[in-house]
Amino acid sequence: MTSHRLAPCLLLLLAVALLHIPQAESGTSIQLDGFVRRADGTLLRNVSILLWGFDLEVETITDQRGYYSLKAMTGEPTCTLYAFYDDPETPGVDLLPAACNIGTASDAYEQVNFTLIPAATIVIVGQLRPVESVRDVRSYSFEVIDPKGGKVIHFGDYFLVYGTGMNVRNFYLGLNSSMVIVPAGVPFTIRVSSSYQYERTRGRRRWYGWS
């Protein structure tokens, strides 16, 4: 083969080789593990462990020892780790989910243990329809409020805000938007906020809240 024919062949082989060079994954590496227990210390198996950034980064379940381990690459500065357990043999959700915010700005290993406390489940039935609107409300939130302090109840990084859309627990845990999980034996009120079209003012939407 002459030199003027050999050069294009070498360039083609080089291009093919470059295409097969593994590309480094972008973002930071995070490794998490830990145990999930009931309030009495009993280890829980088959607990769903979900790591959320803007999207679901990775999920797993606890093993027979209540232990989980996961790895992920993320481009988010912070993520939230959720622990959620629902016994399919019982109605409602018996244990309050838990959450922990994780800093992911740099590569990290962290052990996160969860304790899930007893819970009760409320299901909101029917349609929300303010008197000023003839349309059913499709965007709403249910905030579980401390009746004394007037603030949203939370346990660690788990804030009891439910409903539709994002930034509510139903979205991250895959729950029906009408489901509200509250801690058992803890007084509360539910503050309902909704967005709806106000027919008397064309093109405007109004937020309305009540308890």
Element spanning 18, H or E: helix 3-19
Does 85 share its domain with 161?
no
pLDDT at 24: 43
Which pLDDT band holds residue 9 (cuts at 50, 70, 90)? low
Averaged pLDDT, 182-205 = 75
Q: Residue range 10-29: average pLDDT?
A: 55
Instruction: Select from 152, 161, 153, 147 the least CA-distant residue to 189.
Output: 147
Which pLDDT belongs to residue 47? 98
Looking at residue 22, what is its pLDDT? 44
Over 60: is that where the pLDDT of 188 sits? yes
Question: Which residue among 117, 145, 160 closes a domain?
Answer: 117
Q: What's the first-to-final CA gap in the chain, in angstroms?
A: 85
**What local confidence, expressed as pLDDT, does residue 211 receive?**
47
Please compute the mean of the pLDDT values over residues 77-105 and round it to a whole number. Answer: 93
Q: Average per-residue pLDDT in the chain?
A: 83
User: What is d(CA 168, CA 175) in angstroms, rounded to the nearest whole number?
Assistant: 10
Query: Which residue type occupies 172?
Result: Y
In the predicted model, is pLDDT for residue 145 greater than 80? Answer: yes
Q: What percent of the chain has pLDDT over 70?
A: 75
Contact status, residue 211 vs residue 145, Cβ threshold 8 Å = yes
Residue, of 100 and 202, whose pLDDT is higher: 100
Residue 45 lies in a domain: yes
The mean pLDDT value for 149-169 works out to 94
Which pLDDT band holds residue 126 (cuts at 50, 70, 90)?
confident
pLDDT of residue 106: 79
3-state secondary structure (DSSP) of residue 12: helix
* Predicted confidence (pLDDT) at residue 200 exceeds the cutoff of 60: no
Strand partners, 197: 205
Q: Which residue is it, tokens 């949203």?
A: 152
| Alpha-carbon separation of residue 86 from 28, 46, 94 (angstroms) | 31, 9, 7
Query: Is residue 110 assigned to a domain?
Result: yes
Q: Are 144 and 183 in contact (CB under 8 A)?
A: no
Q: Give domain status of residue 22, yes or no.
A: no
Q: Which domain holds residue 67?
A: 28-117
d(CA 181, CA 190): 11
- Range 179-207 average pLDDT: 75
What's the pLDDT band for 166 if we cut at 50, 70, 90? confident
Cα–Cα–Cα angle for 83, 25, 167, nearest 5°?
Answer: 35
User: How far is 17 from 64, CA to CA, in rounded Å?
Assistant: 46
Q: In which element (H, E) is residue 7 found?
A: helix 3-19
Distances (CA, A) of 153 to 11, 159, 178: 65, 6, 18
CA–CA gap between residue 169 and residue 117 (Å, rounded): 17
Domain end among 117, 143, 170:
117
pLDDT at 120 over 80: yes
Find the angle CA(65)-CA(68)-CA(73) to the nearest 5 degrees.
170
**Residues 105 and 148 reside in one and the same domain:** no
Low-confidence winner among 1-15, 44-58, 62-76, 140-154 (lowest mean pLDDT): 1-15
| 65 and 135 housed in the same domain | no
Total domains in the chain come to 2
Q: Is 85 inside any structural domain?
A: yes
